Amino acid sequence: GDSVTQMEGPVTLSEEAFLTINCTYTATGYPSLFWYVQYPGEGLQLLLKATKADDKGSNKGFEATYRKETTSFHLEKGSVQVSDSAVYFCALSGSTDKLIFGTGTRLQVFP
Amino acid sequence: DTGVSQNPRHKITKRGQNVTFRCDPISEHNRLYWYRQTLGQGPEFLTYFQNEAQLEKSRLLSDRFSAERPKGSFSTLEIQRTEQGDSAMYLCASSDSWRGANTDTQYFGPGTRLTVL
């Protein structure tokens, strides 16, 4: 069945460092790919999405490119801030429209 | 647009009791989803509705679980004879999806945290 694998955390960075969180997927057909973020004490929020191969999703300085050849959707940000500290979830939506999530990656940014 | 709301936010119950959670989706959203999230894991799909019709149920949804969306607006999730393994965060999401496109964004509520003692 469809699945998502993302790197385990926590990822610990200093402010202004470069961030990469790896995400790979297995799916039949043409899934859409999402990154959701969960800030402490809050619900899941959509960060960005891409709906077809080679699309790049971007928001708040974060980017991810839908790579069909490597079945990946890695999240990147050039310069992280303390306020980016949160748990990040990679997810896909396939033929049945439900979301399938990875296990989440906790990001901790220190000043 | 007030977002997806869920009540209660927290529920503590004793094993064997029944509990019911409510979800109010974003107005006019025709799809409503339920997910369950345990500590350190990503959300797992439970079931979803298109208007009032329940279209899919996960194998995670045992016969102790039942969900309804009687008028195609709010939804309830009931767990009968709760077990300690039911302790989790129960998340509701909604989307505006008329053609079943997997490109649609699901908007999540804050969740209901269930603790079964």
- Nearest by CB to A98, from B40, B45, B101: name it: B45
DSSP bridge pairs for B68:
B76
**Contact A87/B at CB under 8 A:** no
Residue A5 contacts B where some CB pair is shorter than 8 Å: no
In A27-85 the beta strands, taken as DSSP E runs, fall at 32-38, 44-50, 56-59, 62-65, 75-77
Q: List phi, psi (to 5°) of B97.
A: -135, 105
pLDDT of residue B99: 65
B109 by DSSP, 3-state: which? coil
Locate all alpha helices (DSSP H) within chain B, ordered by sequence. Answer: none
Mean per-residue pLDDT, A95-102: 88
Beta strand A11-14 with A105-110: parallel, antiparallel or unpaired? parallel
Q: What number of C-beta contacts closer than 8 Å exist between A and B?
A: 62
Query: What local confidence, expressed as pLDDT, does residue B71 receive?
Result: 86
B108:A36 CB<8 A:
yes
The identity of residue B75, as a single letter, is S
Determine the residue of chain B that is closest to A30 in CA distance.
B102
Assess A21–B contact: CB distance below 8 Å, yes or no.
Answer: no
Q: How confident is the model at residue B85 (pLDDT cuts 50, 70, 90)?
A: very high
A43 → closest Cβ in B100, B103, B108: B108
Q: Sorting pLDDT into bands at 50, 70 and 90, what band is A8?
A: confident
Residues of chain A in contact with residue B105, where contact means CB-CB under 8 angstroms, are 34, 46, 49
CA atoms within 13 A on the CB side of A96: 16
Nearest CB to A97; choose among B35, B40, B100: B100
Closest CA to A30 of A94, A87, A92: A94
In this predicted structure, the answer to whether residue B2 has a pLDDT above a threshold of 80 is: no
Whether residues A49 and B103 touch (CB distance < 8 A) is answered with yes
DSSP state of B84: G
Give A7→chain B minimum CA distance, Å: 13
Q: What is the pLDDT of residues B24-44, one digit of tens each?
A: 999 989 999 999 999 889 999
